[in-house]
Amino acid sequence: MTSPAGSPETTATPRPDDFTDVDDVARAFAEHGYVTDRRLATTTFVMSRLGKPLLLEGPAGVGKTELAKTLARATGRRLLRLQCYEGQDETKALYEWDYGKQLLYTQILRDKAAELLTDTTSMAEAVDRVAEQDSAFFSERFLAARPLLEAVRSPEPVVLLIDEVDRADEALEAVLLEMLAEYQVSVPEIGTFVAEHAPYVILTSNNTRDLSAALKRRCLHLFLEYPDAERELEILRSKKTGLDDAAASQLVDIVRGLRGLDLRKSPSISETIDWARVLAVLGVTDLDAAILADTVSVVAKYERDVERSRAALPRLVDPNATVPHPHDHDHGHDHGHVHDHGPGTHRHDEDTGGKQVRAAKDVPGRHDEEYYGQRSSGSGEGTAGGAREIPATTRSVTAAQGARSFANRGGPKNSARRRPV
């Protein structure tokens, strides 16, 4: 329903009855194939009660978009999606006039228009006469609503997903702010549309740029990380990949190990799922380094990442594998290098070491534009603010440095391992 300006209906009220409590959110999401944790379920529940937008930040593939889709399925609401991109303007977000339809109507009504103008004697008079008909052509009939207006106009409550808002320009962010503050949209020729039901609004960001403080202030905020091993295994199970449980559990550990490496693009949940499916199709029940190396391109999408992942796989598959350590032979350990992933130690370091490694990569200006354009993960471990606090000069010793030390042991014939980094 629309409510032109001046209508007594000026405030939108959230519907309090979609979820009874936090557990109800977790249950409903699980029913629709989305595995939550306590923090996620709590924030979603609070959002549903407060009617405030929820901003989800985090690397690509951790379930941000899926959360909004699941929220729509779980509540039976229609999902409206505004996919943001650079250069997008408000006509794609709010509304535009349907020029083609207006033109068609004027052609069909040509005779009627001529009739209207028969008794006019001057051009000015004819123009005035036409202008009197403005409202007929700038009416809701000719309004092409885009997702924001559509959400406000919808007679039924909806879920509005504003996806990858960090890709939008700041000008569009200002338009969003206006809409999110009041859940209303003004069309000067018609009036102000006010939402009858506050939509559930989910914004997502892959952290390719900082969002304005004003936008963040208006939203509940949740940083979505890669899940812990238990939840990732649960997600794998829920996707019925065909990989047996023991292998799936091992795979989760291996992927987590890969995330701890200094990769350009860390494997996401969706890639773990893909990998499990690939291994299941191949009939693999027992994961070994060879089969994982053969299929690692499912999760490593850059040549350098593939090499690094392959080099790390034997140790990730078997932490007790006896891999010769270059420094055990060459020289002592008093030169300031940190070997954060010697045999058997890596997986224990991963939760902290991996996080540090990825945070250290998230230094603005470290990569060129093309890189930021494609890369949407691995950038935002911890809170967004936390990641950016690391000064550009901070040098942390990365897992890859250790890997390079290993690689050099391969000798000059192994050209792949000698690639400069």
Ligand X SMILES: Nc1ncnc2c1ncn2[C@@H]1O[C@H](COP(=O)(O)OP(=O)(O)O)[C@@H](O)[C@H]1O
Give me the residues that bind ligand X (CB under 6 A), please. Answer: 33-35, 60-66, 204, 235, 238, 269-270, 273
From residue 271, give the alpha-carbon distance in Å to each of 35, 251, 285. 16, 11, 19
Shortest reach from residue 293's CB to ligand X, in Å: 24
Question: Smallest distance, Å, CB 355 to Mg ion?
Answer: 21
Cβ nearer to ligand X, comparing 63 with 257? 63
Q: Identify the three-state secondary structure at position 308.
A: helix
Instruction: Give the binding-site size for Mg ion (rule: CB under 5 A).
Output: 1
DSSP string across 42-89: HHHHHHHHHT--EEEE-STTSSHHHHHHHHHHHHTPEEEEEE--TT--
Nearer to Mg ion (CB atom), residue 65 or residue 184 = 65
Residue 81 Cβ vs Mg ion, minimum distance, rounded to whole Å = 10
Smallest distance from ligand X to CB 258, Å = 16
Interaction partner, residue 62 (ligand X, Mg ion, none; CB < 5-8 Å by kind): ligand X
Task: Return the one option of Mg ion, ligand X, none that residue 257 interacts with (CB less than 5 to 8 A, by type).
Answer: none
* Nearer of residues 56 and 313 to ligand X, judged by Cβ: 56
Residue of the chain from 65, 184, 205, 401 that contacts Mg ion (CB under 5 A) = 65
Q: Which does 61 bind (CB under 5 to 8 A by kind): Mg ion, ligand X, none?
A: ligand X
**Cβ nearer to ligand X, comparing 63 with 199:** 63
C-alpha 56/C-alpha 222 separation (Å) is 5
Q: Which residues pair with 192 in a beta bridge?
A: 186
Shortest spacing between CB 167 and Mg ion, in angstroms: 11
- Of Mg ion, ligand X, none, which one sits near residue 270, judging by CB under 5 to 8 A according to partner kind? ligand X
Scan for tokens 């699941």, then name that residue: 70
Q: Which does 176 bind (CB under 5 to 8 A by kind): Mg ion, ligand X, none?
A: none
* C-beta of 78 vs 81, nearer to Mg ion: 81
Q: How far apart are CA 85 and CA 208, in angstroms?
A: 12
Identify which of residues 19 and 183 has a Cβ nearer to ligand X in the complex.
19
Query: Crossing angle, helix 123-131 and helix 110-117, to 10 degrees?
Result: 130
In the complex, the smallest distance separating the C-beta of residue 85 from ligand X, rounded to whole angstroms, is 15
The DSSP bridge partners found for residue 193 are: 185
Q: Which is nearer to ligand X, 66 or 173 (CB)?
A: 66
Instruction: Report in angstroms the alpha-carbon separations of 56 from 50, 62, 215.
Output: 16, 10, 12
Listed ranges 61-69, 74-82, 229-237, 346-354: which one lies at the site for Mg ion (CB under 5 A): 61-69
In DSSP terms, which residues pair with 56 in a beta bridge?
A: 204, 222
Task: For 145, list phi and psi in degrees, rounded to 5.
Answer: -80, 135
> From Mg ion, ligand X, none, which one binds at residue 63 (CB under 5 to 8 Å depending on kind)?
ligand X
Contact call for residues 99 and 178 (beta carbons, < 8 A): no
CB of 41 to Mg ion, least distance (A): 20
Name the minimum Å distance from CB 58 to Mg ion: 10
Query: What would the DSSP string read from start to end of 326-385?
Result: HHHHH--S-SS---TT-TTTHHHHIIIIIHHHHHHH--TTSS-HHHHHH--SSS--S-HH
Burial category of 348 from C-beta neighbours within 10 Å (exposed 0-12, middle 13-18, buried 19 and up): exposed
Interacting partner of 35 out of ligand X, Mg ion, none (Cβ under 5 to 8 A depending on kind) = ligand X
Q: Which residues would be at the binding site for Mg ion (CB under 5 A)?
A: 65
